[in-house]
Structure 1
Amino acid sequence: MRTIDWVDGAIELIDQTRLPDACVTLRVHTVDELIGAIRRLAVRGAPALGVAGALGVALARGDREAVARLRAARPTAVNLAWGVDRAAARIEEGPEAVLETALQVRDDDIAACHAMGERGADLLQGDLLQGDRLRIMTVCNTGGLACVERGTALGVAQTLHERGRLAEVLALETRPLLQGARLTAWELGRMGAPHRLVTDGAGPYLLARGGVDAVLIGADRIAANGDTANKIGSYALALGAARAGVPFIVVAPESTIDAATPSGEHIEIEDRGADEIVAFRGARVAPEGTDAINPAFDVTPHDLITAIVTEARVIRP
């Protein structure tokens, strides 16, 4: 099952806002429809956004103003702009050239996810850890739903599971939109991998108790010095892992590394507004008039990261 693809002249994508209750496929015919899907998180995850950006340029049919709006739809994940730029570079060559590049971005993402899964599993089994079956902790959703197939950090867990080396995945629920509870648990159930759900605040405590072999996270942008922006809650896990002596591994494609951003302090962090915190699925959970701060991401400094695994290499910040 692919999270996003090009089918008969349109983009087809799984509407992730409907999971886990229903698996619904959307057909997207215009750039404005795609921007709407991106902003409401019907499609999300840095690699999937890169593919969406490239395919969206094919939908734009040479409209550079639409391409610019698509590129700016979400600010933190570098992959969206990267995918848009790759496809937009061929606009002058015509729509067939643009689509060719967009489909190559899709295919490259699939290959990268397979490679990251193997490289990450090899690193954990052979270099960092010696246990027979490993217990992994993760945050947000980094499986196939965040890419086209398989995933980044969760793809490593899937590879371990296929090798018979996964004891369990402890998935943080990931407030406020519960990507860990709604999406990661759904994917783990589909792959038949043992897993349990954990509240966000319990993650560092469980690390301190010694019940976790490694923390695996994805990334929305990796600065030139290795500082990594990822879903809010990642920094707390990195601090807990450092105190407990647990390896903290970032798994992301090379396209997520942004050499033009020197360090984490230069990464724009998206604030998604109060509505996601004061209410959930239409039900108010805070008193009327309550305001909120809602950063969607945080930045983990490079000195807290054990390794960054891409499809091409292992980086030791």
Structure 2
Amino acid sequence: MTIRVLVVDDSGFFRRRVSEIINSDPRMEVIGLADNGRQAMEQNEKLKPDVITMDYEMPVMDGITAVRNIMQSRPVPVLMFSSLTFEGARVTLDALEAGALDFLPKNFDAIAKNSAQIRQTLTDKIAAVANSRRRALTESTPPPRPAVVKRGSLSGQVDLVVIGTSTGGPAALQSLFKTIPAGFRTPIIIIQHMPGSFTKAFAERLNRMSPLSVKEAEDGERIEAGHVYVAPGGMQLMVDKRNGGSIHIRESDERVNYRPSVDIAFASAAKHYGRRTLALILTGMGADGREGARLLKQQGATVWAQNEETCVIFGMPMAVIKEGLSDEILALPDIGPKLSAEIG
């Protein structure tokens, strides 16, 4: 079935280029255009698209307001375009909180060149959000199933929790950290696929809503109890348990697709923390984290995966589950309480 897309942007050039890219993919077609948020709302009701691509800065009504209204009137997956600045990060996170499913950096130069990589990234993102099963988009979806236990509870003490996630991760993490109490002492590392200019703003947002201390990770800093560290975008994070535990941030090898990579962080946790690691795989596209989870399991660590019903994109958890690497499959609302009950 063809994916029907509504393109919303106040730039005629950007609307035209994005439309050309979308229409070049046989999986999808542009069925309408809008140059402000109010038009987007009207076209959403009239044309009933499967996906909306949305700019933020527009006349009459901005993108975030439009997303909020769309989620109240006729919910549909929204892919935001955002600038690669700190302010752009804040705005994008607001949009994700309002109901947008994912985002792409708004790069006029790259769009103008219409490169194969840009085409592939945009169309794959549209296909992914179109096929998402986010419960918030359909009121008729039944509530998530309770946690599914595969191989029992934690086998021993946990010294480090490492969380890997991608598409849908910002909203999932915000929901999760609202349920983890101030008394939770085990340090947490977050690997969220995100541009370098976004992770500091995201860490600050999590810090405001969580009783725990959340910050963007820095090279060489000690891992402290009750603290949460967000891996910097564009870099690779590794952990070392020697001398009380520390974080190491390194430039990424060009051959590594994800920066930060869940696999790399998991591999370092497997080496230094071994069976005393609890790894969580949350919503995300692709399979980053699968090989790292394999290394963790070889060391006797515990792996939990988010269930399909509460994922925006089930790709990353599914990759781990299909390989038999998950000890438990949990609905997102169950993860925080279970963390507190078992290791808090």
TM-score, normalization by structure 1: 0.43
Larger radius of gyration between Structure 1 and Structure 2: 2
TM-score, normalization by structure 2: 0.40
